Amino acid sequence: MLRATRKVLCFINAALVAGLLSSCGEEKPTFSLLPDSNLFKQGEGTINNKLDILWVIDNSGSMAPYQANIAANLNAFLGNFVTKGYDFKIAVTTTEAWLAPYGNANIAKFRDGTNATSHTGFFVVDPLTANLINVLDVNLTQGTSGSGDERAFSSFKEALNSNLNAGFLRNDSFLAIIIVSDEDDFSHPSQAYIGHDYNEPTLETVNSYVSYLDTLTNTTGGNRRYSVSAMADIDAACQAAKASTGSIIGQRYIDLVDATNGIKGSLCSTDFSNELNQIQNKIAELSTQFFLTREPIPTSIVIHVNGVLIPEDDINGWSYQADINAIRFHGTDIPPQGASISVNFDPVTIK
């Protein structure tokens, strides 16, 4: 009688879970819809605070004021990375690094300045670099004597592939590429100048560079460990305001930024501090996503960082990314290095 009753209960349980049980034998099945939690520690395990940041600076004739604006607002860019203890590396290349296969391999080497009087000796800077802001100022101010055939995409590819820069990109870091240019990218596999011809048959597609970065980082989709941001002409009003310099809308930059969840900043901004702050915030958000082990009921999620309750807020707080089952932090609530993060929730499905 007891055995018969047990089998009836087992049958009822099987019906309730809509066939999720493959069999009902003599062993007692166990499953739970009790509240669950994930515990994380920033900088350990699956939580990544390693950032490898590559600036791609247009060093053609019209770029002096934009380079100066970047250099003047570096505090806005470095703020969170320094105060929250990120393990970062920062390097600089230019939009003429694509010329490396055409007789000048050294042009793909990261830049530490532009001439004999402005070299820092630091081709890659990190949190321990003395006078960090001053060093980056010199490294980023690449002058205006570079090639007028700007190819930002093939240039960052040459720089990242070059043996001269070996050791920069770590296999467990988040790669952030930041392009600064008032000309769009026209990368193609020859030295010939094609001008601004978007119909050129050999023009390399934006998707080909998404695929390249997917392969380089061994990540794709919502789990990508990279982003591309750009400071460029991003609308017709900005292009018109700078018509005298021959500037054009960076449509291919826009497409690559959108495809990789980066930030688009306008070169027409008087002060780049806001754009640089947005870029560093996005990099920090994407590099510290917390992937949950079970799917939560979103309204049940409660998060504490170092014991402090954090609000659900996509400006300063957290948001749930349903497409990748992850928690993303924003603004002032991005956890610092060493923080303990507790994510409690009611799961959707039986465990």
Residue 100 is assigned to a structural domain of this protein:
yes
Residue 197 and residue 270 in one domain: yes
> What's the pLDDT score for residue 222?
82
Of the two residues 332 and 176, the one the predictor is more confident about is: 176
Choose between 300 and 1: higher pLDDT: 300
Residue 145: inside a domain: yes
Choice between 45 and 118, residue whose per-residue pLDDT is larger: 118
- State mean pLDDT over 265-290: 92
The pLDDT of residue 44 is above 60: no
Tell me, yes or no, whether 62 lies in a domain.
Answer: yes
pLDDT at 26: 44
| Pair (259, 318) in one structural domain | no
Structural domain ending residue among the three candidates 245, 268, 287? 287
Query: Is pLDDT above 60 for 176?
Result: yes
Q: What is the mean pLDDT of residues 62-68?
A: 93
Q: Is residue 2 part of a domain?
A: no
Q: What is the pTM of this model?
A: 0.84
pLDDT band at residue 16 under the 50/70/90 scheme: very low
What are the b/e assignments for 164-174, b being 16+ CB within 10 Å? bbeebbeeebb
Average pLDDT over residues 32-61: 72
Task: Provide the token pair at 10.
Answer: 């087992």
Contact between 48 and 223 (Cβ < 8 Å): no
**Do 256 and 116 share a structural domain?**
yes
Determine, yes or no, domain membership for 10: no
Q: Domain check: are 32 and 168 in the same one? A: no
Please tell me the total number of residues recorded for the chain in this structure. 351
Instruction: Provide the pLDDT for residue 67.
Output: 95
Q: How far apart are CA 179 and CA 236, in angstroms?
A: 19
Mean pLDDT of 223-238: 91
Q: 333 and 199: one domain?
A: no
Give me the helix-helix angle, 152-161 and 251-259, nearest 10°.
50
* pLDDT-based confidence at residue 351 (cuts at 50, 70, 90): low
Model confidence at 21, pLDDT cuts 50, 70, 90, reads very low
Q: Is the pLDDT confidence value at 30 over 60?
A: no
Do 300 and 258 lie in one domain? The reply is: no
Query: Residue 7: which pLDDT band, with cuts at 50, 70 and 90?
Result: very low
In 30-123, the DSSP E strands lie at 36-41, 50-57, 87-94
**Domain endpoint, select from 237, 272, 287:** 287
- Largest Cα–Cα distance in the chain? 94
6 domain-assigned = no
Res 35: pLDDT: 63
Boundary residue ending a domain (269, 287, 305): 287
Predicted confidence at residue 336, as pLDDT, reads 85
Best CA proximity match to 210, nearest among 173, 263, 170, 259:
259
What per-residue confidence (pLDDT) applies to 302? 95
255 and 109 in a common domain = yes
Whether 7 is covered by a domain: the verdict is no
In this predicted structure, what is the pLDDT of residue 288?
Answer: 81
CA-based angle 226:230:234, to the nearest 5?
135
> Per-residue pLDDT tens for 198-229?
999 999 999 999 999 999 999 998 889 999 99
- Greater confidence (92 vs 23) lies with 92
The answer, yes or no, to whether residue 4 has pLDDT greater than 50, is no
- The pLDDT of residue 34: 52
Query: Average pLDDT over the chain, rounded to whole?
Result: 86
Mean pLDDT of 232-250: 80
* Amino acid 23: pLDDT: 40
- 315-348: pLDDT as tens digits: 999 999 999 999 999 988 998 888 889 999 999 8
User: Is 333 a member of any domain?
Assistant: yes
Q: Are residues 152 and 249 in the same domain?
A: yes
Q: Determine the pLDDT at residue 116.
A: 66
User: Are residues 246 and 98 located together in one domain of the fold?
Assistant: yes
d(CA 322, CA 303): 16
Pick from 319, 326, 305, 349: which is nearest to 36 by CA?
Answer: 349
- Both 35 and 105 in a single domain? no
Q: Which residue has the higher pLDDT, 52 or 114?
A: 52
Do 102 and 224 have their domain in common? yes
Residue 33 structural domain? 16-44+289-345
Same domain assignment for residues 195 and 253: yes
Q: Look up the CATH number of the domain holding residue 229.
A: 3.40.50.410
pLDDT (0 to 100) of residue 9: 29
- In total, how many domains does the chain have? 2
* Token pair for 178: 């930041």
Share of the chain above pLDDT 90, in %: 67
φ/ψ region of 339 (left if φ > 0, alpha if ψ in -120 to 50, else beta) reads beta
